[in-house]
Amino acid sequence: MSIRLAKNTDAPDLSRLLTQLDYPGTETFIAAKLGKILADPAERLLVWAEGEHVLGFLSLHFHNQLGTEGDFAIISYFAVDEAAQSKGIGAQLEAAATRLAQEHGCDRIVVHCHTRRTRAHAFYYRQGYEESPKYLIKRLS
């Protein structure tokens, strides 16, 4: 059991976990997306694995800021297998992401978490996150 960077062979497990997050159908494009993420120096995709079997993942992006001394990181996707929740996997992944963010000069981590994900909200509050209202989005498609 360990946290490591994702690799291309993790695609099926990542797709399964994304389906649990209500993002079905990723099997057709996950390999291409994963390749782009793994090649991007501003992104880290952490996985919690038991052998070669991925039970959780956290996607972290680093953003430079022009007007503030510290930069910030964004958690874009974060999932722990439904059968493995409440075993500390999420807390370990979040702690690893926090360390990475600090190593990259970030002074905060931002996460957008849909209002329907109340269990996730409780998790983030336990990890020290606080609400910052007003999230705006412009759909381009």
- What length does the chain have? 141
User: pLDDT of 42-74, one tens digit each?
Assistant: 999 999 999 889 999 999 999 998 988 889 999
Amino acid identity at 92? Q
Distance between CA atoms of residues 68 and 23, nearest Å: 34
> Rounded distance, CA 130 to CA 110, Å?
10
Residue extents of the structural domains in the chain: 2-126
Fold of domain 2-126: Aminopeptidase (3.40.630)
- For residues 128 and 24, the model is more confident at 24
Beta bridge partners of 4: 47
Compute how many other C-beta atoms are within 10 angstroms of the C-beta atom of residue 107: 13
**Cβ-contact 75, 96 below 8 angstroms:** no
Predicted TM-score (pTM) of this structure: 0.85
- 34 phi, psi to nearest 5 deg: -60, -40
53/59 Cα distance (integer angstroms): 17
The answer to whether the Cα torsion of 70, 137, 124, 94 is positive or negative is negative
Q: Which of 19, 10, 21, 12 is nearest to 119 (CA)?
A: 21
Contact 30, 91 (CB under 8 A): no
80-119 pLDDT, tens per residue?
999 999 899 999 999 999 999 999 999 999 888 777 788 8
pLDDT of residue 52: 86
CA dist., res. 49 & res. 3, Å (int): 6
